[in-house]
Amino acid sequence: MFLNPRQISINPVFPADHSMGSRNFLRYIRSKITSEQFALLSIAVCNDFRIECHSFFFEDLEDFLVVRKLKMLNVLQPMPFSYKKIANNKRPSWLLVENEEGETLLTISVSPTKEYLLQYASIVQSAVLFLCPRGQRSASYTKAAHAAEAMKAFYYPEIAEHYSDRLGLTAYLEHTKGPDDVYVIGEGDKAFAQVISDGLFVENVHDSTSFSVIDLALPDAIFRIRIIAIKHSFWGSAAGNVAKVCAELGSTKGIVYIAKLGAISQKLDLFDMVSPCKFLLWEANKVTHIQAPPAFFDEAVLSEMGVVQTVHVSLPTLVEETNFLLNHFNVNGAEAIDNEISFIAASIALVNRRVSTPVPFSCLHIVTDKPSSSIFEKLNDGVETSDINHLLSKDNLQYRRQKNHHHRHFLEIFNRTIIYERPDIGRAIA
C-alpha cells in the first residue's frame, strides 16, 4: 500500500494572482493552519527539516511508519471544530518523524486523494513562502524559498482508488441497500436537521469513525432517503468515488449533492440557490465536457422555486482559482465553480454508460463566494481585484440565516420531488 507512491509537483500561486485578492488569499491560507502547526512549520523552515505531504488515512499511520521505516518524534492532532460538524471533520495531522539516516522530517498526513493532497500541499507551500518569513525573523526569505522548493507530496493510487472501500462505506451500503433509495451527500445532515432532531421519521442511524448514514422514511414518500456524511475530506475524486459507489448499488433512484459553491458569472449573486445542469472538469490544463446524468430535480420545479440552473466547472484545488483561470472559464461559458460537483457528475456518467436504468443526479448549492465585481473587466483594465465578498465567515449572522433558509427551501423542493412530482424517476430507458 505504501511501497509505490507517486510524487506530484507543487507549483506556487502568488497571492496577487488569486481571485480572492492578495489579502484574502493569505487570510485563507492562515485559517487552514493552527497556531501550533504554524509554529511547527516555522521550526521546520528554520532548521532545514524536509517537509513532506502524504495522502493516507491517519488510521493507517502505524503501517505507514513501519513501511517507510520512520520513527515518530511528535504528533499534532487537528484542533476540534468550534461548531458542530459531522461531514468533513477530520483534518490533516502533522508529524515530526526521523528516518533511517537520522534526518528529521515534518510529515503531514492528508485525506487520500490526489486533489486534496495537491490542495493542502499548496496551502503549506504558500504558508512557507508568504507567511513564515513575515512571522519569524530567523526564517529568512532564502530559507523559506529553499524549504518551499524542497517540499514533496506523495500520492498513493491504491488507497485513493479504493477510498470508499477502505472507509467501510461500500460494504455497509451494499449490505443495507433497499429497492428505492435516494442518496444525499454533502450537507444532508444540515438540510434535514429538524427532521433528524424530531426523530419521528428516522429509520436508522449508523455512525462509524469514518462516515455516518442516516435513513429517513418520510410519510407518503416513494423513496427512502439515505443521508451520507463522510468524515474525511470530501474533495475532488473522493466525492466522485463515493457517488460511484452509490450509483453502482443497482437500486439507486437518485443522488443529490448539497453544499456551497463560488460564482463566476455576473448574473449570480451571494446567497443565490443554484443547480448546475452542465458540467465541465478542469484537469491537466484542459477542460473536459462531462455528459450530464439525467436530472433528479425537475426543471420546472426548480424554476418555480427560484433556483438558477448553471454551467459548472470543477477544479482539483481551490488554490488554482486564479483570476486568469476564472476569466478563461467565464469566456467558455462557466457560471459557477467548486472542487467536487463535476467529479461526481463524471463518476455517475461512467456508471450510467453500462446500466439500462441511468441514475439521476442533481445539486442544490448556495453561492457563498464570488468576485466582488467583474474581475474580467478589471483584468482588461489592469486594476487590482477588490478584497470583499470572499469566503464568508461561518460566524457571520447573515451567512447562517441564509444557509438555514437555503436548507428549508431545499426540503420544499425535495418533498415535491420524492412524494408528488416524479413518478418517472428510476425507470429504464426504452
* Per-residue pLDDT tens over the stretch 236-247: 999 999 999 999
Q: Does position 71 have pLDDT exceeding 60, yes or no?
A: yes
| Rounded CA separation 227/207 (Å) | 11
Rg of the chain taking only CA atoms, in angstroms: 22
Q: 162-421: which CATH topology? A: Rossmann fold (3.40.50)
| Rounded CA separation 252/183 (Å) | 8
The pLDDT assigned to 375 comes to 42
Mean pLDDT for 372-390 is 42
Our CA dihedral for 358, 364, 369, 374, rounded to 10 degrees, sits at 70
Q: Which of 13-17, 24-28, 138-142, 382-386 has the lowest mean pLDDT?
A: 382-386
More confident of the two residues 242 and 378: 242
Q: How far out from the chain centre does Cα 211 lie?
A: 15
Q: What are the cell numbers at 75?
A: 504528533
The pLDDT assigned to 370 comes to 78
Mean pLDDT for 122-147 is 82
Q: Does position 390 have pLDDT exceeding 60, yes or no?
A: no
Q: Which of 80-84, 205-209, 272-276, 404-408 has the lowest mean pLDDT?
A: 80-84
Q: Which of 84-93, 152-161, 343-352 has the lowest mean pLDDT?
A: 84-93
Mean pLDDT for 376-384 is 43
Q: Does position 89 have pLDDT exceeding 90, yes or no?
A: no
| Rounded CA separation 183/216 (Å) | 11
- For residue 346, give the nearest of 280, 394, 275, 419 by alpha carbon: 280
More confident of the two residues 176 and 388: 176
Specify the pTM: 0.90
Percent of the chain scored above 90 by pLDDT?
65
Q: Place 111 in a pLDDT band, splitting at 50, 70 and 90.
A: very high
Does an H or E element contain 247, and which? helix 237-247
**How many CA atoms lie within 13 Å of 262's alpha carbon, on the beta-carbon side?**
25
- For residue 429, give the nearest of 277, 290, 294, 301 by alpha carbon: 294
Q: Does position 51 have pLDDT exceeding 80, yes or no?
A: yes
The pLDDT assigned to 394 comes to 55
Q: Place 90 in a pLDDT band, splitting at 50, 70 and 90.
A: confident
The pLDDT assigned to 37 comes to 93
| Rounded CA separation 163/179 (Å) | 25
State how far the alpha carbon of 133 is from the alpha carbons of 20, 129, 298, 426, in Å.
22, 7, 53, 57
Span(s) in the chain for CATH 3.40.50.1580 = 162-421
Q: What are the cell numbers at 167?
A: 472507509
3-state secondary structure of 71: strand
Residue 266 has phi, psi (to 5 degrees) of: -70, -20
β partners of residue 211: 230
